[in-house]
């Protein structure tokens, strides 16, 4: 290190502890969540880690040893965490942050175990989100470990293998079909359900399945999700285990069902209209509500992987030359590979990515905790107004977009002559609040799934590489190679990367989202500690992205086609990637700001706060610079790469005017100091105190 | 008629055993580097005492358990996020130092005063539980002195098992030679300093935790501030025990030979 700041700045003393995380991720006041974290950690670093260390991942079968995990989840309260208190749970209110934290803790050790724990929630989610009251009470109470369920809790599986929203993938032969098997006058219709699933989690032990099916009968309309039970008459074949190379601590099979079930198993119920069974929710409506939330938890697993890699890598680097000819007290012995700048700086990149990923995913989870009651209020309000059905709701809400924008403008000018009465009125309108939060949810959810898992997998490769040859052995501390391949699955299930990009390419152009995005730029530019965190760099990158999006939306390619349009993935998808970098970095800045604001008041955190804050700000700066670099490259390629021409009515000329060059230059210059931050962070990594050993077996 | 025991478990936090412990000279004497920031656990010996207390209390359904802890309030609060999930108890917290560089007699004084001040505790039904030793201030004498200050003369140390038969306590204490001393005690009050006990660590159960937190959070708010002053106590030097590992694998060695070798090794080391 050559800069004097590196020698004098306060240094990180220990790895950030629970108290620091509770402040950053905003659950310092939530004892229920803190206990859920400790509980999940006990399972992850106990039974789960022992299974992985014992090589239980090395087979595809659902073994007795793996099955014991289910009891461990039950005993630790993880199974009940998703349930309402009146049904045996212990967390009141929305549970998105709780579930994300549990996923994070389990994913810290093994993503498959996390998936195994969460798949039960996934099966219950359609019932929770769209089921009738009877369905919700029946199935959720059966899945709670309690004395009332003397044979043990039931477990479910979620069986989709169907066209996903935004993709249009036709999986043909695997599609489920539903027909009327019997329908006597005045009686509940009996349905024949045929379904083949692929890659279905929990299938080895699920006693019920929530399956997506299409109507194959004139007497049933559209598609729906239907609940199948093990005891229903017909075939309930769990199928062969999937030959996965990843997530082997979760059960995955390709099941086959051919069952007769009463029509009241349709999730959300049905109406009879002109002699036709009309499900109240199509399968698309159900899974949209489900995946909107469950994708967030997947992003939590990948974030945990990256942060969990830090300690084993530091230990490996420091001890690399011990036991050989090195002498205690020499840099070679004490620092090992940490004598080398490259080793340290690459680890800084891994850590910064993990921090940003965690910030993004927990921000999304908290957002959904705010969103859930608003969605409920929205549904009640619209129903009270006689507005039913997805399309009618959509039309109504669309008309309110202008008022929602007005609300955002009034917030910006609050206290500066804004119409406070009007602001207050709009603030109290649940539909306006829903629209605003919805515009964020539709961006943050796919963004954290896409960036955390996709770029996270890339950075896990980097983490593995930092362990040298050890990184590709079974006894690599921290199970890093397993985590690397697991991250690839996390990038794929619950909608692969293309699905997330496709959704983002639409939702990120929502005027409500963009209005908030521009507000963030102003906030970042005015932050008191902004320069230390690279907030100015981030603001400059956001401005460039915003300008580029508008340019691309108003420009035609050489063939006269709009550049930014539905199927032009070469344009839209890179812009989604660029946005994810910005969102992750932005949330990281907000989390470090929270630590800065609240850390001093916490006696434990305060004792090491200067060093912790300095390090976290430096990581922020590193990440902001990295994000800015990505955004600059992507935007320059797209803006200049197509040699576009102005669309009719566009304010842009055939080539980008000097605005782009000005913004790009501003961005480049805003990187000043970012490498010094990286130097400081690297120095901190060579000095930070770590435990003597990892707290789980390897 | 057995109305249940009143079990006061004395125990507080210690740094997680996996952490690097580096003694430093602080303004108030020796301390551990970054001690405030190191993850903490309930002292392992005290943990055994707590789990055994919970086991005993479950058997009669009438007993009550208080966990009496001296430690920095904020750190005790964090500790409770896991400990409160393992057993039903009421917390009695004292806001003070939890480090290893305190005088056992001072700690005993504060613990005894605190136990005696628990409003609903019946001294005639009191079982004073704790670790026979501690991972931080391992004088091995704190619990005995606490008991003496409370006037309890029936004291059992290095206990691995306590059963109750018709109101009589049957207690197994570790003694030399890997053997147990089995005692019968007519009943409380008694001091029981636990070794490792016989019970596994209970799993975390957030539902128990949520139930406990209703009383734990107010108890933390009420925690009185205590100082552990011992002006006559000085530390000449503080070091971490040296690690030494000489591994040999020799099959079928007689136990006497192993013992003799250990004795010789200890003599050489001293």
Q: Do B72 and A690 touch (CB under 8 A)?
A: no
Alpha-carbon torsion angle A216, A220, A225, A231, nearest 10: -80
Cβ(A370)–Cβ(A382) below 8 Å: no
Q: Tell whether A75 lies on the interface with B, counting CB pairs under 8 A.
A: yes
User: Which of B13, B45, B79, B48 has its CA nearest to residue B202?
Assistant: B48
CATH number at residue A93: 1.10.540.10
Per the structure, the complete domain to which residue A174 belongs is given by: 157-281
Among B19, B41, B206, B247, which would you mutate to test the A interface (most chain A Cβ atoms within 10 Å of its Cβ)? B206
Mean pLDDT on B115-129:
97
Q: Is B153 exposed, middle or buried (0-12, 13-18, 19+ CB in 10 A)?
A: exposed
Task: Look at residue A567 and tell me if it is in a domain.
Answer: no
Which of A245, A263, A281 is the endpoint of a domain?
A281
Q: Is B16 exposed, middle or buried (0-12, 13-18, 19+ CB in 10 A)?
A: middle
Q: Do A90 and B72 touch (CB under 8 A)?
A: no
**Per-residue three-class SS string for A490-541:** HCCCCCCHHHHHHHHHHHCCCHHHHHHHHHHHHHHHCCCCHHHHCHHHHHHH
- Chain A residues in contact with B203 (beta carbon < 8 A): 42-43, 72, 75-76
Mean pLDDT by 10 residues, chain A (698 residues): 54 95 97 95 96 95 96 93 88 96 98 94 92 94 87 92 49 71 95 93 96 95 96 97 94 95 97 95 86 91 98 96 85 94 98 98 98 94 88 91 95 78 92 97 97 98 96 93 97 90 96 97 93 96 97 87 91 98 98 97 93 98 98 96 76 74 96 97 96 89
Nearest chain A CA: its distance from B198 CA (Å): 20
Judge if A19 and A137 occupy the same domain. yes
- Chain A residues in contact with B205 (beta carbon < 8 A): 39, 75-77
Judge if A119 and A190 occupy the same domain. no
Q: Do A42 and B205 touch (CB under 8 A)?
A: no
Q: Which domains can be identified in chain B, with CATH numbers?
A: 6-225 (3.40.50.620)
CA angle B42–B45–B51, rounded 5-degree value: 75
The string over A92-105, giving b where at least 16 C-beta atoms fall within 10 Å of a residue's C-beta and e elsewhere, is eebbbbbbbbbbbb
User: Which of B103, B18, B239 has its CA nearest to residue A315?
Assistant: B18
Judge if A53 and A148 occupy the same domain. yes
Q: Helices (H) and strands (E) in chain A — how many of each?
A: 26, 12
The secondary structure of A185-222 as a DSSP string is: TTS--EEEEEEE-SSEETTTT-SEEEEEEEE-STTB-S
Q: Do A608 and B84 touch (CB under 8 A)?
A: no
* Chain centroid offset of residue A423 CA: 32
Q: Do B78 and A18 touch (CB under 8 A)?
A: yes
Judge if A25 and A148 occupy the same domain. yes
Q: Do A35 and B84 touch (CB under 8 A)?
A: yes
Identify the pLDDT of residue A292.
Answer: 81
Residues B30-83 pLDDT 10s: 889 988 889 999 999 999 999 999 999 998 889 999 999 999 999 999 999 999
Identify the pLDDT of residue A620.
Answer: 98
Q: Is B215 helix (H, G, I), strand (E, B) or coil?
A: helix
Of A77, A689, A692, the CB nearest to B204: A77
Task: Look at residue A393 and tell me if it is in a domain.
Answer: no
β-bridge partners, A195: A257
Among A77, A98, A148, which would you mutate to test the B interface (most chain B Cβ atoms within 10 Å of its Cβ)? A77
Q: Is the dihedral of CA A309, A312, A315, A318 positive or negative?
A: negative
β-bridge partners, B13: B42
User: Which of A371, A459, A443 has its CA nearest to residue A587?
Assistant: A443
Cβ(A178)–Cβ(A192) below 8 Å: yes
For residue B244, the tally of other CB atoms under 10 A from its CB is 7
Q: Tell whether A90 lies on the interface with B, counting CB pairs under 8 A.
A: yes
More confident: B234 or A674: A674
Among A32, A35, A105, which would you mutate to test the B interface (most chain B Cβ atoms within 10 Å of its Cβ)? A35
Task: Look at residue A91 and tell me if it is in a domain.
Answer: yes
Cβ(A405)–Cβ(A512) below 8 Å: yes
Of B34, B204, B210, the CB nearest to A76: B204
Identify the pLDDT of residue A166.
Answer: 46
Of A14, A90, A694, the CB nearest to B37: A14
For residue B75, the tally of other CB atoms under 10 A from its CB is 23
Judge if A165 and A257 occupy the same domain. yes
Judge if A148 and A12 occupy the same domain. yes
Task: Look at residue A32 and tell me if it is in a domain.
Answer: yes
Q: Tell whether A689 lies on the interface with B, counting CB pairs under 8 A.
A: yes
Judge if A41 and A132 occupy the same domain. yes
- Chain A residues in contact with B39 (beta carbon < 8 A): 17-18
Among A13, A23, A27, A31, which would you mutate to test the B interface (most chain B Cβ atoms within 10 Å of its Cβ)? A31
Q: Tell whether A695 lies on the interface with B, counting CB pairs under 8 A.
A: yes
Phi then psi for A456, rounded to 5 degrees? -60, -40
Instruction: Give dist(CA B222, CA B212) in Å, integer.
Output: 16
With an 8 Å Cβ cutoff, the interface of chain B facing chain A consists of: 16, 18-20, 22, 33-34, 36-39, 72-75, 78, 81-82, 84-85, 203-207, 209-210, 213, 217
- Chain A residues in contact with B78 (beta carbon < 8 A): 18-19, 34, 604
Instruction: Give dist(CA B183, CA B155) in Å, integer.
Output: 11
Name the residue with tokens 């001093």.
A600
Instruction: Give dist(CA B95, CA B102) in Å, integer.
Output: 14
| Tokens, residue A331 | 């840099």
Pairing of strands A190-196, A177-182: antiparallel
Judge if A231 and A216 occupy the same domain. yes
Which of A155, A170, A199 is the endpoint of a domain?
A155
Q: Tell whether A319 lies on the interface with B, counting CB pairs under 8 A.
A: no
Of A14, A603, A689, the CB nearest to B72: A603
Cβ(B115)–Cβ(B147) below 8 Å: no
Identify the pLDDT of residue A407.
Answer: 95
Of B74, B206, B210, the CB nearest to A602: B74
Q: Do A35 and B81 touch (CB under 8 A)?
A: yes
- Chain B residues in contact with A42 (beta carbon < 8 A): 82, 203-204
Nearest chain A CA: its distance from B238 CA (Å): 19
Q: Do B204 and A81 touch (CB under 8 A)?
A: no
For residue A308, the tally of other CB atoms under 10 A from its CB is 23
Q: Do B204 and A18 touch (CB under 8 A)?
A: no
Domains in chain A: how many in total?
Answer: 2
Task: Look at residue A57 and tell me if it is in a domain.
Answer: yes
Instruction: Give dist(CA A202, CA A253) in Å, integer.
Output: 8
Q: Do B18 and A695 touch (CB under 8 A)?
A: yes
Q: Do B74 and A604 touch (CB under 8 A)?
A: yes
- Chain B residues in contact with A37 (beta carbon < 8 A): 81
Judge if A41 and A128 occupy the same domain. yes
For residue B268, the tally of other CB atoms under 10 A from its CB is 7
Q: Tell whether A18 lies on the interface with B, counting CB pairs under 8 A.
A: yes
Judge if A99 and A165 occupy the same domain. no
Nearest chain B CA: its distance from A437 CA (Å): 31
The string over A277-295, giving b where at least 16 C-beta atoms fall within 10 Å of a residue's C-beta and e elsewhere, is bebbbbbbbbbbbbbbbbb
Task: Look at residue A271 and tell me if it is in a domain.
Answer: yes
Nearest chain A CA: its distance from B211 CA (Å): 10
N-to-C CA span, chain B: 54
Pairing of strands A200-201, A252-262: antiparallel
A141 Cβ contact partners less than 8 Å away, ≥ 6 residues apart: A83, A87, A88, A148
Task: Look at residue A299 and tell me if it is in a domain.
Answer: no
Identify the pLDDT of residue A405.
Answer: 96
A604 Cβ contact partners less than 8 Å away, ≥ 6 residues apart: A17, A19, B36, B37, B72, B74, B75, B78
Cβ(A156)–Cβ(A210) below 8 Å: yes
Q: Nearest residue of A to residue B203 by CA position?
A: A76
Judge if A31 and A166 occupy the same domain. no
Judge if A237 and A141 occupy the same domain. no
Q: Do A36 and B206 touch (CB under 8 A)?
A: yes
For residue A31, the tally of other CB atoms under 10 A from its CB is 20
| Tokens, residue B228 | 């552990």
Nearest chain B CA: its distance from A291 CA (Å): 27
Of A14, A36, A602, the CB nearest to B34: A14
Cβ(A450)–Cβ(A361) below 8 Å: no
* Chain centroid offset of residue A213 CA: 27
Q: Do A14 and B210 touch (CB under 8 A)?
A: no
Identify the pLDDT of residue A260.
Answer: 98
The secondary structure of B151-176 as a DSSP string is: T---EEEEEEEEEEETTEEEEEEEEG
Q: Do B16 and A75 touch (CB under 8 A)?
A: no
Task: Look at residue A539 and tell me if it is in a domain.
Answer: no
Among A12, A29, A33, A38, which would you mutate to test the B interface (most chain B Cβ atoms within 10 Å of its Cβ)? A38
Which of A244, A262, A281 is the endpoint of a domain?
A281
ipTM over 0.85: yes
Q: Nearest residue of A to residue B78 by CA position?
A: A19
Instruction: Give dist(CA A477, CA B132) in Å, integer.
Output: 35
Residues A499-551 pLDDT 10s: 999 999 999 999 999 999 999 999 999 998 889 999 999 999 999 999 999 99
Q: Do B22 and A37 touch (CB under 8 A)?
A: no
Cis peptide before B189 (omega within 30 of 0): yes
């Amino acid at each position: 290190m050559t800069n004097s700041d590196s020698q004098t700045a306060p240094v990180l003393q220990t790895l950030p502890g629970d108290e620091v995380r509770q402040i950053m991720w905003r659950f310092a006041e939530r004892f229920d969540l803190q206990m859920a974290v400790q509980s999940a950690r006990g399972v992850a670093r106990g039974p789960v880690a022992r299974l992985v260390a014992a090589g239980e991942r090395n087979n595809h079968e659902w073994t007795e040893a793996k099955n014991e995990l289910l009891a461990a989840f039950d005993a630790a309260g993880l199974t009940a965490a998703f349930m309402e208190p009146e049904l045996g749970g212990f967390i009141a209110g929305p549970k998105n942050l709780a579930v994300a934290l549990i996923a994070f803790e389990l994913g810290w050790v093994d993503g498959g175990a996390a998936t195994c724990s969460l798949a039960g929630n996934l099966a219950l989610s359609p019932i929770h989100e769209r089921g009738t009251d009877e369905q919700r009470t029946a199935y959720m109470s059966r899945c709670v470990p309690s004395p009332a369920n003397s044979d043990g809790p039931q477990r479910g599986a979620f069986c989709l293998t169907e066209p996903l929203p935004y993709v249009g993938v036709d999986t043909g032969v695997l599609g489920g079909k539903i027909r009327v098997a019997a329908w006597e006058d005045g009686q509940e219709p009996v349905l024949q359900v045929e379904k083949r699933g692929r890659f279905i989690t929990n299938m080895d032990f699920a006693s019920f399945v929530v399956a997506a099916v299409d109507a194959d009968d004139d007497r049933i309309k559209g598609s729906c999700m239907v609940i199948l039970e093990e005891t229903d008459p017909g075939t309930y074949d769990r199928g062969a285990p999937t030959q996965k190379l990843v997530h082997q601590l979760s059960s995955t099979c390709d099941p086959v069902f051919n069952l007769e079930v009463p029509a009241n198993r349709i999730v959300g119920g049905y109406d009879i209209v002109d002699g036709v069974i009309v499900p109240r929710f199509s399968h698309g409506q159900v899974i949209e509500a489900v995946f909107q939330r469950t994708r967030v938890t997947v992003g939590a697993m990948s974030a945990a992987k990256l942060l969990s890699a830090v300690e084993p890598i530091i230990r490996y680097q420091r001890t690399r030359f011990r036991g050989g000819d090195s002498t205690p007290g020499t840099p070679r012995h004490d620092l090992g590979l940490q004598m080398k700048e490259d080793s340290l700086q690459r680890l800084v990149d891994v850590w910064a990515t993990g921090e940003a990923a965690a910030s993004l995913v927990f921000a999304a989870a908290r957002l959904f905790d705010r969103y859930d009651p608003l969605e409920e209020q929205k549904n009640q309000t619209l129903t009270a107004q006689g507005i039913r059905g997805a399309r009618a709701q959509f039309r109504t809400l669309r008309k309110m977009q202008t008022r929602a924008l007005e609300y955002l403008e009034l917030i910006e000018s609050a206290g500066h002559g804004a119409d406070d009465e009007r602001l207050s009125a709009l603030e109290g309108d649940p539909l306006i609040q829903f629209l605003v939060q919805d515009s964020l949810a539709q961006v943050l959810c796919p963004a954290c799934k896409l960036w955390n898992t996709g770029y996270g997998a890339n950075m896990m490769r980097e983490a593995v590489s930092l362990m040298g040859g050890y990184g590709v052995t079974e006894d690599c501390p921290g199970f890093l190679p397993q985590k690397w391949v697991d991250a690839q699955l996390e990038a794929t299930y619950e909608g692969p990367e293309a699905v997330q990009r496709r959704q983002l390419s639409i939702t990120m152009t929502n005027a409500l989202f963009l209005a908030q995005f521009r507000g963030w730029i102003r906030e970042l530019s005015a932050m008191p500690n902004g320069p230390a965190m690279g907030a100015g760099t981030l603001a400059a990158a956001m401005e460039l992205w915003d300008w580029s999006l508008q340019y691309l939306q108003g420009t035609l390619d050489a063939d006269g086609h709009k550049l930014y349009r539905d199927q032009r993935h070469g344009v839209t998808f890179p812009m989604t990637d660029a946005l994810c970098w910005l969102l992750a970095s932005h949330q990281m800045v907000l989390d470090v700001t929270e630590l800065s604001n609240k850390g001093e008041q916490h006696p434990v955190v305060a004792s090491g706060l200067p060093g912790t804050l300095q390090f976290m700000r430096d990581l922020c700066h590193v990440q902001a610079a990295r994000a800015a670099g990505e955004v600059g490259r992507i935007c320059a390629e797209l803006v200049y790469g197509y040699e576009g021409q102005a669309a009719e009515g566009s304010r842009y000329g055939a080539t980008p005017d000097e605005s782009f060059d000005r913004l790009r230059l501003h961005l480049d210059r805003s990187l000043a100091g970012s490498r010094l931050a990286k130097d400081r962070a690297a120095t901190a990594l060579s000095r930070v105190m770590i435990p003597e050993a990892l707290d789980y077996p390897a | 008629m057995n109305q249940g025991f009143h079990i006061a478990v004395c125990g507080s936090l210690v740094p997680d055993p996996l952490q690097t412990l580096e003694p430093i000279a602080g303004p108030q004497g020796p301390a551990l580097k970054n001690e405030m920031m190191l993850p903490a656990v309930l002292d392992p010996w005290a943990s055994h005492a707590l789990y055994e207390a919970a086991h005993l209390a479950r058997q009669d359904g009438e007993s009550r358990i208080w966990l009496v802890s001296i430690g920095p309030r904020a750190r005790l609060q964090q500790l409770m996020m896991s400990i409160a999930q393992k057993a039903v108890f009421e917390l009695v917290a004292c806001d003070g130092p939890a480090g290893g560089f305190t005088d056992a007699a001072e700690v005993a004084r504060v613990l005894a005063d605190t136990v005696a001040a628990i409003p609903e505790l019946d001294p005639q039904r009191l079982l004073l539980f704790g670790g026979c030793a501690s991972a931080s201030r391992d004088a091995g004498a704190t619990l005995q002195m606490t008991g003496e200050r409370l006037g309890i003369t029936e004291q059992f140390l290095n206990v691995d098992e306590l059963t109750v038969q018709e109101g009589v306590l049957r207690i197994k204490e570790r003694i030399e030679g890997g053997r147990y001393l089995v005692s019968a005690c007519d009943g409380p009050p008694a001091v029981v300093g636990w070794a490792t006990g016989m019970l596994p660590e209970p799993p975390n159960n957030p539902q128990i935790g949520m139930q406990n937190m209703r009383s734990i959070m107010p108890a933390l708010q009420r925690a009185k501030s205590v100082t552990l002053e011992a002006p006559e106590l000085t530390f000449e030097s503080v070091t971490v025990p040296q690690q030494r590992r000489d591994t040999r694998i020799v099959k079928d060695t007689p136990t006497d030979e192993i013992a003799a070798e250990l004795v010789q090794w200890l003599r050489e080391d001293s």
